[in-house]
């Protein structure tokens, strides 16, 4: 928004809030019947209706002055009443300082507007939920989009920072409601040179792993341009990987193509330089979703160390390996490098190849895997197998990339166990992400909770990460229950062993 914020006396701020009619609840101390001190709430200040102001009178669009909204100073300037009428405004619904967990406000929102979401709320370590970092009244309004937060800790979890997503920002002239207050481009003299996309915009569709995603700049800006610049950032694995997990072409042209290998949210930033030298910028999120169950494993040492990801067949609870001294003899009842890739590389003790893992699931169409690093081999096979390992990162095509195992159409109640093996002898710090129905539901392993592990000759070290049970509704949509694993008999710690192949 144009114009500078200037200080106001507290009385003027109070009158601005009163005229706004925002729902604000103030906390004051009180006591219950037993004399215990409690928090009581004052009735909402939304019953008074102020006459419509003169069209030329500016209205302060900032957060209510005596709600704890100082974390979100996104309305930097004046809001003109003739461009955004008061009934259209969406209140922030910020509350004064409170403990969200103690007041049963575990709702994935920052109710007290202190920059933290669901602080004090119970959670299971490793779980992931959507969250909104912004005033709760602005969620899913205008440009605003959810981020994700992880439950951190060991035995007792606490929700970490809400990252990703798009929170309210100062209004700019771009055809989008940037401050998420219910009004668009409420700036004097605004004629947007283009129209930026927000959530649910029909110009922005959902993507799929291993499928090219094309973005045409003229869908958002149709004027003359002297230059184009695109920036795309990935999800949690891209934060730690030694190389980018996705490819991008056309980053300085009006059309960009990116090729994702992982599920999750990708942030796109488009910057156009207009002939007058003024930039026009749009930022939005593209959701990339693989079907069914998708388990992804990544680690920062993946250019030099070789870790392997395994997922057990439903109903299996035997050893991961048939010989504790033979790292090339995994069980045929688990999916891994030996029996789940496009080309079967594992060799049985009898000298023949492992049978391809067949757990009774239907094959998927080639579009689900032919764009991956081993695409030509899947094309030769004629289908995408289920389960399947798209790429082993010790292959040349996968060096530095994550490994992922997919079951595109699991059954109701199927239970799988996930294990990561390290026989390289060097310390590695793997992270395992679980996606169900295209949504990340669990992340296990990032430091400081899991400092990493080493391996030795033989089957080396094994980290039994989690159990995941799939649920499939009548429409075929997949959700999951995920349980992190601990050493037998313990409720804390990570189930890591050395030279021990037990389930």
Q: Does 238 map to a domain?
A: yes
Tell me the torsion sign for CA atoms 371, 375, 376, 381: negative
Planar angle of CA 95, 97, 98, nearest 5 degrees: 95
Say if residue 435 is in the same domain as residue 473: yes
Do 345 and 476 sit in the same domain of this protein?
A: yes
Quick one: pLDDT at residue 48? 27
253 and 324: one domain?
Answer: no
Q: Are residues 322 and 274 in the same domain?
A: no
Three-state SS for 88? helix
- The pLDDT tens digits along the chain (503 residues) read 333 333 333 333 322 333 333 333 332 233 333 333 323 222 222 222 223 333 333 333 444 443 444 577 665 445 566 678 777 888 888 887 788 988 889 999 999 888 999 999 999 999 999 999 999 999 999 999 999 999 998 778 999 999 999 999 989 999 999 999 999 998 888 999 999 999 999 999 999 999 999 999 999 999 999 999 999 999 999 999 999 999 999 999 999 999 999 999 999 999 999 999 999 999 999 999 999 999 999 999 998 888 999 999 999 999 999 887 788 899 999 999 999 999 999 998 888 889 999 999 999 999 999 999 899 999 999 999 999 999 888 777 778 889 999 999 999 999 999 999 998 778 899 999 999 999 999 999 987 777 888 888 788 899 999 999 999 999 999 999 999 999 999 998 999 999 999 99
Work out the number of other CB atoms within 10 angstroms of the CB of residue 405: 23
**Same domain membership, residue 344 and residue 218:** no
Total domains, the chain:
2
| Domain presence at residue 207 | no
- Residues 276 and 314 occupy one common structural domain: no
Is the same domain home to 335 and 229?
no
Name the domain boundary from 246, 261, 288: 288
Residue 348's SS3 state is: coil
Whether residues 237 and 298 fall in one domain = no
pLDDT of residue 205: 96
Residue at 277 is within a domain: yes
pLDDT of residue 140: 95
* 8 A C-beta contact, residue 420 and residue 462: yes
Q: With beta carbons less than 8 A apart as the criterion, state whether 68 and 25 touch.
A: no
User: 109 with 139: CB under 8 angstroms?
Assistant: yes
Q: Please state whether the predicted TM-score (pTM) of the whole model is above 0.75.
A: yes
Three-class SS of residue 397?
A: helix
Final residue in a domain of this structure, among 244, 273, 288: 288
Give domain status of residue 35, yes or no. Answer: no
250 & 378 share domain: no
Report if residue 1 sits inside a domain.
no
Under 8 Å CB-to-CB from 423, ≥6 apart: which residues?
A: 306, 308, 327, 455, 456, 457, 458, 459, 460, 461
pLDDT value for 78 = 57
CATH number at residue 270: 2.60.40.10
> Do 323 and 392 lie in a common domain?
yes
DSSP 181-222: SS-S--STT---SB----TT-TTS--B-TTS-EEEEGGGTB-
Domain boundary among 288, 303, 330: 288
What are the E-state strand segments in 325-381? Answer: 334-335
In this structure, are 405 and 298 located in the same domain?
Answer: yes
Q: Which domain holds residue 306?
A: 293-498
- At 397 the pLDDT is 79
């Amino acid at each position: 928004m144009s114009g500078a914020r200037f200080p106001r006396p507290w009385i003027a701020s109070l009158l601005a809030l009163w005229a706004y009619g925002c729902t604000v609840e103030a906390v004051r101390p009180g006591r219950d019947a037993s004399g215990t001190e409690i928090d009581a709430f004052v009735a909402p200040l939304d019953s008074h209706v102020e006459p419509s102001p003169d069209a030329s009178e500016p209205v302060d669009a900032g957060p209510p002055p005596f709600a704890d909204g100082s974390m979100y100073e996104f309305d930097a300037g004046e809001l003109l009443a003739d461009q955004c009428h008061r009934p259209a405004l969406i209140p922030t619904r910020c509350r004064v300082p409170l403990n969200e967990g103690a007041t049963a406000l575990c709702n994935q929102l920052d109710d007290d507007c202190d920059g933290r979401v669901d602080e004090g709320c119970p959670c299971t370590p490793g779980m992931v939920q959507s969250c909104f970092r912004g005033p709760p009244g602005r969620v899913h309004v205008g440009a605003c989009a959810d981020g994700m937060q992880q439950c951190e800790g060991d035995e007792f979890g606490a929700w970490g920072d809400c990252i990703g997503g798009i929170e309210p920002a100062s209004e700019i002239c771009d055809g989008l409601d940037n401050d998420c207050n219910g009004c668009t481009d409420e700036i004097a003299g605004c004629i947007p040179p283009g129209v930026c996309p927000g959530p649910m915009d029909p110009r922005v569709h959902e993507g799929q792993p291993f499928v090219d995603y094309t973005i045409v700049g003229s869908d958002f800006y149709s004027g003359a341009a002297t230059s184009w610049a695109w920036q795309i950032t990935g999800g949690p694995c891209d934060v730690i990987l030694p190389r980018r997990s996705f490819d991008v072409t056309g980053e300085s042209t009006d059309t960009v193509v990116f090729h994702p290998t992982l599920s999750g949210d990708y942030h796109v930033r488009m910057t156009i330089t207009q002939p007058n030298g003024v930039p026009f910028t749009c930022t939005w999120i593209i959701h990339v979703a693989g079907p069914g169950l998708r388990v992804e494993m990544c680690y920062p040492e993946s250019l030099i160390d070789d870790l392997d990801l395994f997922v057990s067949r439903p109903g299996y609870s035997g050893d991961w390996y048939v010989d504790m001294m033979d790292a090339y003899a995994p069980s045929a009842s688990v999916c891994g490098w030996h029996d789940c890739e496009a080309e079967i590389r594992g060799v049985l003790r009898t000298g023949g190849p492992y049978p391809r893992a067949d757990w009774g699931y239907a094959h998927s169409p080639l579009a689900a895997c032919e764009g991956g690093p081993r695409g030509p081999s899947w094309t030769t096979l004629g289908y995408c197998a289920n389960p399947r390992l798209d790429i082993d990162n010790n292959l040349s095509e996968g060096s530095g990339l994550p490994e992922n195992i997919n079951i595109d159409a699991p059954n109701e109640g199927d239970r799988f166990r996930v294990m990561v093996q390290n026989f390289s002898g060097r310390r590695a710090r793997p992270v395992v992400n679980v996606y169900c129905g295209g949504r990340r539901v669990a992340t296990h392993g990032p430091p400081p909770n899991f400092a990493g592990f080493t391996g030795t000759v033989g089957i080396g070290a094994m980290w039994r990460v989690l159990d995941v049970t799939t649920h499939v509704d009548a429409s075929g949509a997949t959700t999951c229950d995920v349980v992190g694993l601990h050493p037998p008999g313990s409720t804390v710690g990570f189930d890591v062993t050395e030279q021990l192949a037990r389930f």
